[in-house]
Amino acid sequence: MSKNLQNLTDTPPFWAETLLRALLSPRSRDAIAGDLLEEYRESVLPAVGTLRARIWYVRQVLSFLNASALVKVAEMIPPVLLWGAGVWLLGFGLVFMVPYVTGMAVSTVLVLFAGIVLTLGGATAIRTLLKDWSLPGTSFLGFACFATVTAVVASAPIFRPLLMMEAFLAIMTVMGFSGACKTGQVRSGIMTAVGTSISVTALIVLTVRLLHLPHPPLASVVVLPAAAAILGAGGALFGKRFVYADVDVLILTMNLV
């Protein structure tokens, strides 16, 4: 089959096409699906190959999720109700759900929440000072992930350091991958992982001190940045292969997960 003919018959992922059609109004459904298919076959597929073309297509579909569906749903709901629901959910989570699931006192949860809000505020302030936010931003997301896991695991009735370490291993690898994806440099991936690791180490030390948890000798935590460097390098070597604008959607998904 010639390349041109193959491009003419190649189709984007079925599920993505189905999702796209579900997001669009009947009036514009066929025309927009046709435009995307045309761009997919005539421009994107010949330029970047099947895998990246499919990632591009999914990304376009996701842009409709943001731009149309969610906005339309949000516009249908009065702002007062939206804010009210948000505040109610937050309050319910902080006062009932999180304390019930983790066994933490309500006051502890509220203090942790205030800490997260302050950290986010600080991160936003730093963001305004730094033009290139990608690496500090990635590192911060990793830290936030680990802080959440730490808060949940460390405060559970039975403290399980193993679970924390597993989370650490996974997050460091993702940090390396993510850092290399954004910059195309393995070095940046390693730096992102090590940067995250240092903040994570500080968090662990602080947690075990404040909560008087059983722990191995604190000196042993110095191995964490080293482990982060190794895992970050592994992730970065893999992530460097995916340097491409459309990989942002993968990173976004990973960050959300």
Binding site for another protein (CB under 8 A): 8, 28, 30-39, 41-42, 59-60, 62-68, 71, 245
Long-range contacts of 109-118 (CB under 8 A, 24+ apart): 112/151, 116/144, 116/147
**Taking the complex as a whole, how short is the minimal distance between the CB of residue 51 and another protein, in angstroms?**
19
- 226 residue type, one letter: A
DSSP string of 16-30, one letter each residue:
HHHHHHHHS-HHHHH
Q: Which is nearer to another protein, 10 or 221 (CB)?
A: 10
The owner of tokens 């730093």 is 126
Torsion-angle region of 69 (φ positive above 0: left; ψ -120 to 50: alpha; else: beta): alpha
**Taking the complex as a whole, how short is the minimal distance between the CB of residue 46 and another protein, in angstroms?**
12
**Taking the complex as a whole, how short is the minimal distance between the CB of residue 59 and another protein, in angstroms?**
8
**Taking the complex as a whole, how short is the minimal distance between the CB of residue 33 and another protein, in angstroms?**
6
User: Considering only CA atoms, which of 12, 32, 11, 8 is closest in space to residue 22?
Assistant: 32
H helices of 103-160, where? 106-129, 134-154
Q: Which is nearer to another protein, 23 or 231 (CB)?
A: 23
Q: Which is nearer to another protein, 205 or 245 (CB)?
A: 245
Geometric angle at alpha carbon 84, from 78 and 89, rounded to 5°:
130
Q: Which is nearer to another protein, 204 or 246 (CB)?
A: 246
Q: How far is CA 28 from CA 18, 25, 73, 83, in A?
A: 14, 6, 18, 31
**Taking the complex as a whole, how short is the minimal distance between the CB of residue 60 and another protein, in angstroms?**
5
Q: Which is nearer to another protein, 42 or 166 (CB)?
A: 42
Q: Which is nearer to another protein, 65 or 230 (CB)?
A: 65
**Taking the complex as a whole, how short is the minimal distance between the CB of residue 118 and another protein, in angstroms?**
29
